[in-house]
Structure 1
């Protein structure tokens, strides 16, 4: 996953406003199917869109957008519509499908890999890695993106990125390692207080027994990561894949020879960075200076 703004939301959420559907994303088919079901149940109940909207607290236009697959319904929309239309739980049962569909496809695909990984490693050279970001930090990144995202898009991407961080709570816990460039820990993305809370969060996460965070000092002369950030995921079936994202291009790397090169580079990067213990001390020092 890209450690910067990227195109994910990655990966991570609280209730949000209804979302416009990205028709180039396969989520469109899911949302269209849900919308058709809402319309069929409404028509079977002999209600007009305006009547349904009034009964569940939404406008007529919002109901039409949901029914035509142009809007992603919030969970409470489906709960209220289910009750008003007497759907017997059939509409409410679609909340899980809608929850997954509201995240960008790329994020969902990457999240599936993360859910199957027994070990993950990431080198981040531009910003704090997405899996380590606080909500404030991630929001600042997305708001700074040009061309600009709408506020709805920003919130969608932030929610997706935060959702992916459930990987830290998985059982059995995967081994998660990160190498952060020193510059990423000094840049005041979002302002001084956002950076302070981000550094505090890194210290909290690094205290987890299955997580190791290392800092690559700027003064390091030998550096095997100058070709850019990358990720490695070792899956439960014994295979390994890499993942790169640069500017507008993302790429899943599955060729064994290429994955081997990334593994070699990541191993060297970790050996050249500060140890996890010294990295904690380094981050604590930065926090004191911020």
Structure 2
């Protein structure tokens, strides 16, 4: 296609995977379908065919049909260009506020919602750095290492979702958050030396926050209740709580008081066996200096 003497490359479904809609995400399906329908109505109102509209915003006709039928989640750039071309006065661009939430998987949104409401969060992770603590580069390296591999677009979507959860550190009033990390995971240079160092620096930054307690579980220690996997306990303002553990209750979230007491006992035992917060930060600093 020639425009003003130049060849214009359209973004098509083949070279622009986009974000697929999770059919089990009812709210997400509804949001994307509504936005798609509004885009189609406005396009038809100005008398543009799908192919013309796609050419005007730099996307292929096949992708336009996917977005308008609610089968593909549009990117912010798509909505911004559509708003301009259709003369929507900012209405289509504003739809991004809802659409951007849909791009995160429902399970991640649910988890982020719970974390946003919790007044106390306790996390132990056995085999990796907790997602709340990860840098974008560290998270990206982990997702890229998966087998079978994720598509590049899926990787970026998951990285964005994980980074969105970090807003928990910006809440006011701030929740009380405690982490216990295994020494072995801190020594693994995920993503290479530079990414590894940035991740350790991020741990020091978060570990020094007034509402955060970060502890390291030494490798040379006895067995503890967390060797089966992660433990997570979230407590809320109204006195309720929810928790889960890979090694208990089939890994499913639970709010049963008896089961929660078991998880709290295990998490408390783990914290007692780990280095103190001051010793833990000192240990991470020694790792950065190559002295540990």
Q: Check whether TM > 0.5.
A: yes
Please name the residue that 2:35 is paired with.
34
In the alignment, what sits opposite 1:104? 105
Where do residues 268-279 of structure 1 align in structure 2 (5 Å cutoff)?
Answer: 268-279=269-280
Which has the bigger relative contact order, CA under 8 A and spacing at least 6?
1
Please say which of residues 27-36 and 17-26 is displaced more in the overlay. 17-26
- Tell me the distance in 1 between the aligned counterparts of 2:199 and 2:86: 46
Greater Cα offset, 208-217 or 79-88: 79-88
Mean Cα deviation higher: 78-87 or 176-185: 78-87
Q: Aligned partners of 1:139, 1:146: CA distance in 2, in Å?
A: 14
Counterpart position of 1:5: none
Deviation for aligned residue 1:17? 7.4
Q: Residue 19 of structure 1 aligns with which residue?
A: 19
Q: 1:84, 1:52 → 2: CA distance? A: 8
What does residue 121 of structure 1 align with?
122
* CA RMSD in angstroms, aligned pairs only: 1.9
Question: Deviation at 1:23?
Answer: 2.6
Structure of larger gyration radius: 2
Deviation string 1:156-176 (CA, Å, 9 cap, x unpaired) is 001100111111111111111
Check whether the contact 1:224–1:268 (CA below 8 A) recurs between aligned residues.
yes
TM-score, normalized by length of structure 1? 0.88
Q: Matches of 1:47 and 1:259 in 2, distance apart? A: 58
Q: Report if aligned partners of 1:122, 1:230 keep a CA contact under 8 Å in 2.
A: yes
Match in the other structure for 1:214: 215
The answer to whether residue 186 in structure 2 is matched with residue 185 in structure 1 is: yes
Deviation of the 1:66 alpha carbon: 0.8
Q: Report deviation, 1:131.
A: 0.4
Please list, as runs of the form range in 1=range in 2, the aligned pairs for 1:34-183 lying within 5 A after superposition: 34-183=35-184
- What is the SS of the residue equivalent to 1:252? coil
Query: SS in structure 2 opposite 1:91?
Result: helix
State how far apart, in whole Å, the 2-side matches of 1:245 and 1:262 are: 11
- Alpha-carbon distance in 2 for matches of 1:228, 1:76: 40
Partner of 1:225: 226
Please give the secondary structure, in 1, of the residue aligned with 2:98.
Answer: helix
Contact 1:17 1:74 in 2 (8 A): no
SS in structure 1 at match of 2:147: coil
Q: Distance in 2 between matches of 1:226 and 1:236?
A: 30
CA deviation digits over 1:118-170, x for unaligned, max 9? 11010011000100011111011101111211111111001100111111111
The 8 Å contact of residues 222 and 272 in structure 1, kept in 2 or not, is answered as no
Distance in 1 (CA, whole Å) between partners of 2:183 and 2:163 is 23
Tell me which moved more, 55-64 or 150-159: 55-64
1:88-134, Cα deviation, whole Å (9 max, x unpaired): 43322321110111100000001110110111010011000100011
Offset from partner CA, 1:161-220 (integer Å, 9 cap, x none): 011111111111111110001111111222222211111111111111111110010111
**Cα separation, 2, equivalents of 1:101 and 1:193:** 32
Separation in structure 1 between the aligned mates of residue 283 and residue 51 of structure 2, nearest angstrom: 59
